[in-house]
Amino acid sequence: MKHHIALDTDKMLAWSEDGIGWMVFNNPEKLNAMGVAMNAAIPTIMHSFRDDPDVRVVVMAGAGDRAFVSGADISEFEAQRSNPETIKKYDEIGAAAGRAYGELDKPIIAMIQGFCMGGGLLTALRADLRIASDDSQFGVPAARLGLGYGYGGVKTLCDLVGFPAAQEILLTGKRFPAADAARWGLVNRVTTLEDLEPTVHDLAATIAQNAPKTIRAIRRAIQEIPKDPDHRNLDEVNALVQAWFASADYKEGRTAFMEKRRPVFQDA
């Protein structure tokens, strides 16, 4: 049964069903360009998924068949980002959305079709897994538009694809095909357009059946790896692992293995 999340904008859609949370960027007339109202809705969506024990994994997708997210909605810049006061408010809304992604302790899959550009690429990089159709195009056109691109986005891209690929993406501002994105490790997998949604749904369903405590511990460990060794919180990672061994789900996993059946994890 679908559970829809009430939002203050129709430019974002969100619901959960069968253990999967769905967040859709719903601005197809502008290739799902991200406006202020869309960013402002993200904390509500992410916190709802975070607090719903039935949601085990989240899928992000763009509405229509032409774009995941084509970037920021530049048509809003004159009204929303043209002086120090409006720039500050715009950045605060974006920062709150970024924090909300970080506060979700569940895996995110980006289902990418068509354009994935600029802020859309940064949005995709917030996902744990990125699956793209073979017609997808990627890029960061900031240098071509005279826009700033902050340290956080640059570092995230460099951490994922390495300096040579990141420099080519950022310094040229060019669009790159899905094949290049796969070669660089920017996406996990490229499928035909026809196979994209079934592939993502099967992947999400597989993750949703796995042990939530194990998933959280794995994600937390992965998040610590890029940090400076002096700032890694390995105690927290180890605590999550130890909590698993004291859990009912650990017992369920062992029992199911012995009984040769699929385990039913309750996050307990």
How is 28-69 classified by DSSP, letter by letter? GGGTTPBPHHHHHHHHHHHHHHHH-TT--EEEEEESSSSEEE
> pTM for this structure?
0.93
Residue 263: band (very low, low, confident or very high) from pLDDT cuts 50, 70, 90: very high
Query: If 0-12 CB within 10 Å is exposed, 13-18 middle and 19+ buried, where does residue 19 land?
Result: middle
pLDDT at 115 over 90: yes
Pull the structure tokens for residue 142.
Answer: 């900031």
Q: Residues 156-181: what's their mean pLDDT? A: 96
| Length of the chain as a residue count | 268
Task: Answer whether 90's CB lies under 8 Å from 144's CB.
Answer: no
Residue with tokens 């390495």: 162
Q: Residues 221-245: what's their mean pLDDT? A: 87
Q: Residues 243-262: what's their mean pLDDT? A: 90
Pairing of strands 176-177, 137-139: antiparallel
Print burial letters for 25-50: b (CB count within 10 Å at least 16), e (below 16): bbbbebbbbbbbbbbbbbbbbbebbb
Q: Residues 206-231: what's their mean pLDDT? A: 90
pLDDT at 84 over 90: no
Pairing of strands 115-117, 12-17: unpaired
Q: Over the stretch 2-55, which tens digit does the pLDDT of each residue have? A: 999 999 999 999 999 999 999 999 999 999 999 999 999 999 999 999 999 999
pLDDT at 226 over 90: no
Please give the pLDDT value at position 163: 95
Q: Over the stretch 127-144, which tens digit does the pLDDT of each residue have? A: 999 999 999 999 999 998
